[in-house]
Structure formats: structure tokens, C-alpha cells
Amino acid sequence: MVFETLRIVVGPIPVASKEPYTLETICTSTMDCREVPGVVAGGFATIMENTGTSNEPESIPLIDNATGSNQNSAVTDLELQSDFIRDAIRQDLSEGRFNRVHTRFPPEPNAYLHIGHAKAVWIDYGIAREFGGVFNLRFDDTNPAKEEQEFVDAILEDVRWLGADWGEQLFFASDYFEQMVEWAIVLIKKGKAFVCDLSAEELKDTRGTLTSPGTDSPYRNRTVEENLDLFARMKAGEFADGARTLRAKIDMASPNLVMRDPFMYRIRHTEHHRQGNKWCIYPSYDWAHGLEDSIEGVTHSLCSLEYVIHRPLYDWFLDELGIYHPRQIEFPRLKLPYTVMSKRRFIELVNGGHVDGYDDPRMPTIAGLRRRGYTAEAIADFCRRIGISKADSIIEWHVLEDCVREDLNKRAQRVMAVMNPIKVVLTNYPEGEVEYVDAINNPEDAEAGTRKVPFSRELYLERDDFREVPPPKFYRLSPGKEVRLRYGYFIRCNDVVKDESGEVVELHCTYDPATRGGDSPDGRKVKATLHWVSAKHALPAEVRLYDKLFLKEDPDDVEQGQDYLSNLNPDSVKLVTAYVEPSVATADAGTRYQFERQGYFCVDKTSTPESLVFNRTVALRDSWAKIEKAK
């Protein structure tokens, strides 16, 4: 039997191990599949068994790593995708470099995750799941000056929300500090590391340039005994911050500046968010990165493209120590226009009061996108669409917006809301009477059912749906013209009421009682269907209409003397008071709706039944707006 796709079970992973597991057969579209032992660091991977019959095998339930429970509804056929990372992994498996797949997502807990991290999670977790492997979530908490528990908690929430299941594979680099120090001592004893007294400025001056070699530190040839003594005293807290560093002894003439005796440890008397004051020396990312991967038994360390030049150092440390050696593979960062994707700049934007926190819906953070109304499914679809390439590229926002439109079109309940109201009085409708019309909750989902919407003599319509003097191709309401009210009746505009300034403030219309539900018994047709709300029953709501955070595609495109903040868009959010139908009165924060003919909106976390607040996720495409823009 030959399978074009695999269904994979990823089970509980109680412990980390660097020991490989035995994988006798890897299934591809050209190989027979059979059950193979797949113990991976305490977990398992089950591949379909070839029964020799023509019947399809029973579906294998996906196991929730966190609970061990079956999640049949989550089972999906994982197609054997092809990109340069997956091709490299398949090659490693076929050539015997590894006989398993083990990935990790290693965020630093110094800010909130952004959509670029979502791409990394999608790659790391998706590949582990696709190959029946293991996925670790590891916090690279090696810089206590910038790390906080708030960021740890936010990252856990974001990764879980994105759909990645790390089970019991949650790790912290700080738990490996003792082992890292032992390995540093190994390099000192081999003469491959030394304690350096140069200051940061002096070290910079001796580094050299891309075209000229660096200069050896005057402390480079200290004896092993002296280096061991000084390093022990560094660890014991004897020296002040910045007084000394431990550096690798490699090659100050290397054409790769990263290899010019990089530092491994610096002194920092700062309390750690998990370790307290136990440590006063902290490892560099380059030193810690490969060691963490090795300790956890990672096979493929998937990094962003800027780490290409760091790969030789990653390999050097592992080879010099003679420990288990994962493979590092790099992929390009995700870039979006009209925003920034720097954690440092997120902090500046928040601390400077330019945005309303890390979850401001204008921010490209996962928390901001979630608050704005984006779904994890839409973000995953976005990652699938853009794929994995070897070169940097800028992905336009409309690609992400198309993904969320498609997803919310299938799941969001429809309601009616009027953003810029004009009052309509149905002069022939009985005063004081109220009736309830049946409205479809979601035409894409028959099981979503219907709801009752109140209809009365006085209504609110969108001001943009009326023109006193209609231009060509304008089929909405105007004097003497008839339109259909969604789920309601045909109405005709008879009179226009204006204020002293000449602005239209009220329309007097008549309705046709025979057209209830939107069809005319005599067969006459109208060319426009408008949404509305009952003025008596509609609820006021604050609606936040979001635009791009920056005015320029590249926020760093500034005049001399300015910085990216000068390109902030002063109109990136517009607040309007809208009127919404009463069915949304008790909606929970995070509930998503389609406001008919407007767009998709999400109930904000600050919303209450007494004071409703909605964030616009994305607008619908407006055909008339396109016509007017073309003019």
C-alpha cells in the first residue's frame, strides 16, 4: 500500500534526552508504510501499518500532548510538503545523519511575540508534527536585565493560542546554567577560552573590520590556571559588572567577524526572573544556543536568516566540546510594510505612549492581532500561503487580510450596525408598533440558525446610503427611489428634512407592507439592499476603525535628524459612535462579528454591556467605494 499523506500521533513527552530513537522506516509518497517503533525522548510517533489490503486504515486520533486525551476533531491529513528545510530534513533522515526529527521554538522573554514569530512557530511545530517528531518550547532566558515574567506568561498564551502543543516539553535555558559553566571550564582547560579584561569599548576597537583583521587581546595568552581562577572568581561575584568577560579563543583574523574571539560570559549583577540572585555571570546567545539544543536532543535548529554567519560558531562550540551536534538551518524573517517588527521598538512605542500597550490592535504582535479579531486559523493560512523561501521578501498586508476575511466569512455571525446614522421615519408604519424579523446568522453555516431583530417606525440607515442628488450608478436610497431593507420591507424616500445649515438630518419614507422579507408580490425589482437598525432598540457602541500604524511603507524612510517615530500615522485609529442591533449586548470579549456591508469586528476586552466597544478587524470590499475612488 502506498500513502500520499500521513496521519501522525504525537504523544506525551515527559523528559528531554539527547539520545536518538530508532526509526526504521520513514514514509514518503513512494515508500510502503508500516508501524515502526518511534520512541523520541520519552514520546512516540506512530506511522500507519501496511495491512496488505486495499482498505484504508482507520483514522489515528491526534493525542493532545498536554492532556493525553484524544482529539479526533483535530485530526488532519498532513500533506508531505516540499521546501528547502523539509528537503534537507528528508535528506538527513535518508542519509542517516539523524533518525528522528526534534525541533524547538526558543523565544527570549524580553517582549511580546509578533507575527514573524508566528511564522517561526508554524515552521518549528509544523515540521515536528509532520515528521512524527517532538517540539520543544524553550525560553532563552539568558539576559536578566531585559526579561520579565509578564513576557513569559504572554508568550505561553500566544504560542498556545496559535495551536502549538508542547506538552511537557517546556524548558528554560537558565536551568542549564550549571552545565554551561562546566562546559566553559572544559574549553578553558583545552586552551580554547580565556578571561579578558578589556572593556566593551576596548573590545570593539580591537575587533577589526570586514577588510582588516582584529587585534589579539593582551590577555589572550593567560595560562589555563589563571583563567580557571579568574572565571571561578567571576562566577563567585568578586568583580563588578563589565570588569571581565570569558571569550572563546578562535581566530582574530577570521573573515567572519563572529569568529573573532567572541565573548561567552559577561558579568551582570542583576536579579533573574527565575533564578533570583543565584547567578552574576550570564552566557551569550551564541554560546548558549547550541548547548541548549544539544542538551534537549534537538535535531534541527531552525533559525532566522541573520544567524547564517553565526552557524560556524554554533558548530565550533559543539565540535570543540565533542557533544551531540544538531544541525542549524536558516530561513528568512517575515517582513510586513507600514509597521515595525523589532521588540526594542515595541518597547519604545509602548513606553512612549504611542500605542495602547503591547496588545494594541495596531501592533503586529500576536496579542494585538488577537485583540483586533484575527484568528489563529487565519494566521496559519497566511503562513501556508507565503511558504518558506531562502530570500528575504516583504509580504503585503492584503495577503494577511484576505486570510482573515476568508476565515471569518465562514465563522463570524452577521449582525447589523450603522456607523454614520441618518434617521428614517416610516410615515405609514403604525406608531408604537414593534415587530421582529428573522435574520440569518451566517449564510455560510446552516447550523448557525437565525435570530430575531426588532423593526419599528423609526430606523437608522447609513448616511452614505443616501444621496439627495444621486450620481450615475448610485442605486441606493434617494428621493423617489425604492430600496430593500435587509430582512425587512421595500421603502421609498418621499421627503428630506434638513437643519438650518442645510444638512440632511431625517428622511421620511413609506414602506410596502406586502414586501415583508424582501420580495414584492407584484414582481417589481430593486437594485439595492440596505442594512439598518431600529432607532428605539439599537445600542450605542464605540467602534475603533484601524489603519496602518505608519505613513510610509518603510518607517525608517526619514529625513536626516528624524527617526521612525516621525512616520507614525496620526490617523491610525478613528473612533466613531455606531448603533448596533441588541443581539450583541452581552457578547464576550473576543467575539467576532461581521457587521453586514461593513466588515469584521471584534468585541474589545474593555467592552461591557453598558459600554460596548468593537475593534474593526478588516473591512469588506466596497464596490461603490471603488467607483468613487476611481473618479
C-alpha torsion sign, points 70, 74, 80, 83? negative
Which residues have a Cβ under 8 Å from the Cβ of 54 and sit 6 or more positions away? 1
CB 305 within 8 A of CB 330: yes
- Give the H or E element holding residue 460: strand 458-462
* CA 342/CA 181 separation, integer angstroms: 31
Question: Could you tell me the three cell numbers for 56?
Answer: 484504508
* CA dihedral for 420, 424, 430, 435, sign (positive or negative): negative
Residue 320's alpha-carbon distances to 68, 186, 188, 217, 250, in angstroms, are: 40, 9, 11, 21, 11
Measured CA to CA, the distance from residue 600 to residue 374 in angstroms comes to 10
Of 474, 480, 485, 475, residue with least CA distance to 495 = 480
The set of residues, in sequence order, having a beta carbon less than 8 Å from that of 459 and lying 6+ positions away, is 423, 424, 426, 485, 532, 533, 534, 535
For 236: left if phi > 0, alpha if psi spans -120 to 50, otherwise beta; the answer is alpha
Q: What is the spatial distance between Cα 266 and Cα 288, in angstroms, rounded to a whole number?
A: 13
The sign of the CA dihedral 147, 153, 158, 164 is: positive
Element (H, E) at 158: helix 149-162
> DSSP class of residue 355?
S
Q: How far apart are CA 395 and CA 91, in angstroms?
A: 29
Catalytic residue list: 108, 333, 343
Single out the residue of 579, 567, 577 nearest to residue 535, CA to CA. 579
E strands in 467-619: 482-485, 490-498, 504-512, 529-530, 533-534, 539-546, 573-580, 592-595, 599-603, 612-619
Q: From its phi and psi, is residue 137 left (phi > 0), alpha (psi between -120 and 50) or beta?
A: beta
Query: What is the Cα–Cα distance from 327 to 299, expressed in whole angstroms?
Result: 6
DSSP code of 61? P
Closest to 110 in 3D by CA, of 357, 347, 365? 347
Q: Are 3 and 56 in contact (CB under 8 A)?
A: no
Which one, of 418, 582, 553, lies nearest residue 486 by Cα?
Answer: 418
